[in-house]
Chains A and B, each alone.
Chain A
Amino acid sequence: MDNLCANLLEEAVGISKGGRVVVVEDCVQMSGAFVLHHFLKRSLYPDTSDAVIFIAFAHPFSHYERILRKMGCNLTVHRKNHRFVFLDMLTLECPDRNGKETRQDGLLALYGEIEKAVEIYSSLEGSRIITIMIDDISLIEVAANGSSNHVLDFLHYCYTLKAKYGCSFVTLNHEDIYSSANTLPLILQLEYLADVIIKAEPLATGLASDVHGQLSVLNKGSVCDLGGSSSKVRNFHFRVKENIVDYFYPGTQT
């Protein structure tokens, strides 16, 4: 039963052979972090040798460690087995004092760390997909003191790793921040570059204990690949539990 439910999200997202960009969008009322946890667990399944590089702006390692442990995935062990890299950026600052250069350098250094990790991991044996995850893009903007162009430059560089190493991306951003016209380009650019957009929203009727909210999955299919267009849009409800998230179509909950 649980297995079937989890597939509703997986079915909507589809199976990836790497090189896929997933953007998760949420709002103040409903956090979308659980989707991130899902992808994290998915990439660290024991039957693959895939690896994850996790860039944390929102929460420290202990937070994710505990959540994933409840989902049956031990991050500490994966870290030791070279399948998981955690970059703690909670205190990353790219201050503005010496002009633009410093601001860029902070993100440049971060990118350097990511690329280094990707280079090392991809040289290891076995065919593996490396997934790069960023848990809050809006906080990169804060770290870069509001320069969304620097954030986009940074993300562009991250995306270049897709071409050479076939990396996948899962990023989280808050949609409700970008409501005015001058802030819109950041989230629009993310959506242009995304293959899958997942939006977590509360129900219009408010939070309930048995239905926590709804998830809309916009799968552009292979717009960025060359195959046919298999774009599809799915919409379903979910209920988050500690160890698993139930996904179900409205009204079909048992």
Chain B
Amino acid sequence: MAETICRALRDGAFEGEHAPALTIKDTIDTPLGSFVFNHILTQLTSNILAGKSQARGVVLVALSRPPSFYAELLKNKGFDVSSSSKWLRVLDCYSDPLGWKNKLMERGTVRNPYEETLLKTSLCKNLKELDKVLSSIIELGKEIVEEGKGRFAVAIDSVSEILRHSSLPSIARILSHLHSHDQVSCIFCLLHVDLHEAKVAATLEYLSTMHADVEPIVQRTNGQRNTSEDLPMVEQSFKRGKFHVRFKRRNGRVRAMREELYVEGSGIKITEVSSEDGITAQSLVPKVQFNLDLSEKERLDRAKVVLPFEHQGTGKPIQIYDGRKSLNESENEEKQASVEKPQTTEDSGRGEIIYFRDSDDEMPDSDEDPDDDLDI
């Protein structure tokens, strides 16, 4: 069902709506988020090349891995990298995010620090100025699509890297700007959740239309970091994990999917969890705070409970206490009437409303109808 994500990204934005956005999240326990990212990137690329997708090309913002990595990745997947300039632009925020290399080159310490790749890249030398990053993303996107028409996809390979240099609100602003940009077809980004406060993940979830979590198969119970005792588990967690997707649908529903993810060969394989075990099927439903269903034992137990207002074992008619004096001898009609209006205050005789005037300009209580001025 990971295809659902790919399909959604392929179909892109509907007229007058925001572009679909996917956040991939992982933690150090199962650091497989980058695999998912690569998988989605290649899927989207093949869709673009087949002409099936709304996007004409991808702008890849490379933050945690160098452009050469992506060149290699695409080559291994059988794409023609040399002609990639038609559908791919890389904004290289990896090589020199703070302009150090540039400074060193100017000082003459080093000669040529930059790496050459086959991909068409553009270098970002100051990641701190996010507005410039944003404008270069859009500029690169416009290079791919012809001016005025067509859309492009944006891939950000690790938001975590940007967060080191900029504040969360400024990143949120950039992302929402991209969502609403009328030439952006879709966005997907990667986040290492445990590097940041909980608020960061929540913000990105809020902004995105889909989020995919990579979680360990067995949740660590003690909350501790890796210890030598659970080494076999650690080994497993580098190979497979749970893949949870939550999908905000346009009709207002949320679709949750649970799958399993295997690292296999040069990529990943995502399989549906067999629905045989009922627990998984049940947990597809969003969790609620309380039990709606009772087990058989619970039902029996409930039946046994003697409620306090029942006359126990006397065979007399059941009467419901309504806050007034017991009216055992009264007629049936009267009892019915009391049930009808149990909350009227004058009956109880105990309730009292103390009224303080708000200010002195208010007239003392008058007989004037307060709704007098209502013009119906």
Which residues of A come within 8 Å of B, CB atoms? 104, 108, 111-113, 115-116, 119, 149, 152-153, 156-157, 160, 162-164, 175, 184-185, 188-189, 191-193, 199, 201, 214, 216, 218, 220-221, 223-224, 226-229, 231-233, 235
Contacts and interface: CB of A to CB of B under 8 A. Distances in A.
* Secondary structure dominating the interface of A: helix
A192 B234 contact: no
A116 B110 contact: yes
Contact of A160 (B94, B194, B196): B94
A164 B68 CA distance: 9
22 contacts: A104-B98, A111-B100, A115-B109, A119-B113, A153-B97, A153-B98, A160-B95, A160-B96, A163-B66, A184-B194, A185-B194, A185-B196, A188-B28, A193-B64, A201-B228, A216-B228, A216-B231, A218-B234, A223-B35, A226-B73, A229-B264, A231-B263
B238 A115 contact: no
Contacts of A184: 194
A152 B226 CA distance: 22
Interface in B261-293: 263-266
B195 interface: yes
B28 A191 contact: yes
Given A149-B164, A188-B28, A119 B110 contact: yes
Given A149-B164, A156-B97, A226-B73, A116 B109 contact: yes
Contact of B195 (A189, A224, A233): A189
A163 B68 contact: yes
Contact of A228 (B94, B96, B235, B264): B264
B31 interface: yes
Contacts of B196: 185
A163 B95 contact: yes
B100 A228 contact: no
Nearest to B97: A156
B238 A220 contact: yes
A226 B66 contact: no
A228 B268 CA distance: 10
Contacts of A113: 109
Given A108-B103, A149-B164, A216-B228, A192 B31 contact: yes
B107 interface: yes
Nearest to B69: A163
Contacts of A214: 228
A223 B113 contact: no
B192 interface: yes
A205 to B, nearest CB: 13
Contact of A188 (B113, B114, B194, B263): B194
A193 B192 CA distance: 11
Contacts of A116: 109-110
B265 A235 contact: no
Contact of A226 (B28, B76, B109, B192): B76
A228 B267 CA distance: 8
Given A104-B98, A191-B28, A220-B31, 14 more contacts: A108-B104, A119-B111, A156-B97, A156-B161, A160-B66, A160-B96, A163-B68, A185-B194, A191-B31, A199-B226, A216-B228, A218-B234, A218-B238, A223-B238
A116 B111 CA distance: 8
A35 to B, nearest CB: 16
B259 interface: no
The interface size bin for chain B is: 35 or more
A228 B265 contact: yes
A231 B234 CA distance: 10
Contacts of A229: 238-239, 263-264
Contact of B104 (A115, A162, A192): A115
A236 to B, nearest CB: 10
B140 to A, nearest CB: 20
B232 interface: yes
B53 interface: no
Contacts of A189: 160, 192, 195
A113 B110 CA distance: 9
A153 B166 CA distance: 13
B34 interface: yes
B143 interface: no
A213 B204 CA distance: 43
Contacts of A175: 225
A62 B328 CA distance: 101
B72 interface: yes
A201 B100 CA distance: 37
Contact of A223 (B31, B110, B192): B31
A156 to B, nearest CB: 7
Contacts of B111: 119
A204 to B, nearest CB: 9
A162 B68 CA distance: 11
Given A119-B110, A149-B164, A192 B192 contact: yes
B368 interface: no
A164 B96 CA distance: 13
A112 B228 contact: no
Contacts of B34: 223
Contacts of A108: 100, 103-104
A75 B96 CA distance: 33
B73 to A, nearest CB: 6
Nearest to B228: A216
B115 interface: yes
